[in-house]
Structure formats: structure tokens, C-alpha cells
Amino acid sequence: MTATSYGLIWNPSKVDEEKLRKAVAEHLGDDVRWWETTPDDPGHGMAQDAVAAGCSVVIAVGGDGTVRAVAETLAGTDAALGIVPQGTGNLLARNLDVPLENIPAALRRIKGGEPRQIDLGWVRTDDGERAFAVMVGFGVDAQMLVETDDDLKDRAGWLAYVEAMGRAMAGTEMTGVTLTIDDGEPQEVRGHTLLIGNCGMVQGGVRLLPDANLDDGRLDLLLVSADGALQWLDTVRSVVWDNGIRRILTRGESAVSTESTQHLTAERVRVELEQPLAFEVDGEEFGEVSSFEVRVQAGALNVL
């Protein structure tokens, strides 16, 4: 059996180097190649170097930006991605059940785990094409839930996420959207939020895309078009109750759409917007876009 060769890419702004090196030596040994990210490169070049060096496992230590950059570079290679989450959202790590805020536990998972194949999404804008592991879109997205008030979360649990979602939705405006699903005809719709995801869970166990599966070869969409107080309440109820708590209790098999929340699935999506809007990829701001195309690459990435 070929010995595992580890490469480690770490973000110095997210983790203490001495603490990290001690944990790596204890759980993976001393034969680990190290690369440090920079403000200009969150991990692409380092991951390329790790693959070229023959590393069979490339470990991303940092936040969602570092994980996304390394995952994008490893797509289609034989190298497996390991994650030591050190960010705020840690969205892919959450969806993979990687231990959070526990470097030794994350390293033990990498050491003893068996690689599995997952899909990646790719989004093309005027600036080119980039991969995403979790979700892309505009409007009320996962990052807004990440910013939930910590004190309220400690005191109120689920209610903190309801409050955060309400605040985020109140600051959005409806816009015209032309949506083309796979080979279908373009649809003219209106909404203030469109999320397209490879997986759907964010902080607090909230599943914005409850049917999303990391290895089903498809992407899931959520279009939110709430307009007015009653529809805002309908949207929050749909996310938190219908597609959250009740789905868990009843083991519901598919996402519930409502008048203000529509759930769809596709392999390819084209979106044209009535006006340019701020766009996010895996919780990170990527400027404004007026159109974009999204596709899924099935089984693109090996993960631990």
C-alpha cells in the first residue's frame, strides 16, 4: 500500500503557527510539506505546488476562502482534500461533519478517514470561471446567517437565526430575473434572493437548500420573492419550520415550496438580472454581476 503523502496549506491570519505545528506533528508526523497562503493567493498556487510535489492528501487550514481555493485546484486530480476549519462560516466543513474549533479532532479525521467523491459547482461571470463547494448567489445568503448575534444565539437558539434572517430580508429589494434551467425555455421571474448550491446547511443547522446533496450530480436552487410582511413571515416559516424542524421530525423527503419560496434542481443554470447586484461565492463577496452561468461537475473532488 502506498504511504500517504501530506501537504498542508495554512492561512497565517486564521491560526497560531506553533499550535498548528504541534498538532500536526502529533497526529500526522513530521513528514508533511507546508505552504503558507498570502493576501494575493488564498491557496491556488500552493495547491498546485502540492499536487506537483506528489501529495496524496492536501490539507486546507483556514476559512471558506482557503478551502474553496484549494478545492478548485484539486478538482479532477487524484489528491484528496482534508479540512481543518479555522474560519467563521466553515460551510463545507459543516456539511461534511468535520469537527469545528478542534484542530486535533480534524487532523484525526484526516488521518483515519476514507476519501469520498463529491461534486463541485462552477460559476462563470464576466471575470471568468471559478469553482464553489457550497453555494453562490445574490440576496439573503448563508453569510448573513453567519453574522447572527452571538448573545441572542446563546440565549434564544433557533430564534436568533429567525431574527437574523428577518433583518437580512428587510434590507433586500425585488428585481427581475431571467432564469434558464438546463435546456428549458427562459423564465421571467421576480425575486430578491437566488441561491444555487451544492450543499445547503449553514450555521445553526439551518438548511437553506434542504434537498441539496454533495454527491448527487445536481445543484439545488432557492428563489425567494417575499414582498410584504405576510410573505416575509411565510418565507421564514418555510426555511425554519417546513424545511427545517418539521422536516426533521417527519423525515420529509423533499423541500416544500411556498408562494414566496421556490425550490428547484438543475445541472446547469443561466441567470440574467434586471440590474447588477452584489454576488457571493461560498460566502465571499465577488463584486456585482448582471448575468452568470452555473454548472455542476459530478464527482470532481475527493474529500476526507
- Report pLDDT digits (tens) over 141-185: 534 544 445 555 455 444 555 555 555 555 567 889 999 999 999
Side-chain-side CA neighbours of 276 within 13 Å: the count stands at 6
Residue 43 C-alpha from the chain's centroid: 17
Cell of 296: 455542476
pLDDT at 255: 63
Question: pLDDT tens-digit profile of 16-47?
Answer: 999 999 999 999 999 999 999 999 999 999 99
Q: Which residues contact 51 (CB under 8 A, 6 or more apart)?
A: 58, 73, 74, 77, 79
- Which SS3 state, helix, strand or coil, does residue 68 take? helix
For 189-194, what is the mean pLDDT? 89
Query: DSSP labels for 240-295?
Result: IIIIIIHHHHHT-SSPPP-SSEEEEEESEEEEEEEEEEEEEETTEEEEEEEEEEEE
Residue pLDDT, tens place only, 94-113: 999 999 989 999 999 999 99
* Model pLDDT for residues 209-246, shown as the tens digit of each residue: 888 999 999 999 999 875 654 555 555 555 554 555 44
Task: Look at 265 and 205; give whichever has higher pLDDT.
Answer: 265
Question: 238: closest CA among 292, 179, 165?
Answer: 165
Cβ proximity of 117 and 301 under 8 Å: yes
C-beta of residue 234 within 8 angstroms of C-beta of residue 261: yes
Q: Is the pLDDT of residue 130 over 70?
A: yes
Q: How far apart are CA 223 and CA 202, in angstroms?
A: 17
88, 60, 73, 68: which is closest to 144 by C-alpha?
88
Vertex 82: Cα angle to 100 and 266 (nearest 5) = 90
pLDDT at 8 over 80: yes
Q: What is the pLDDT, as a whole number, of residue 1?
A: 43
How many CA atoms, within 13 angstroms, populate the side-chain half-sphere of residue 111?
Answer: 14
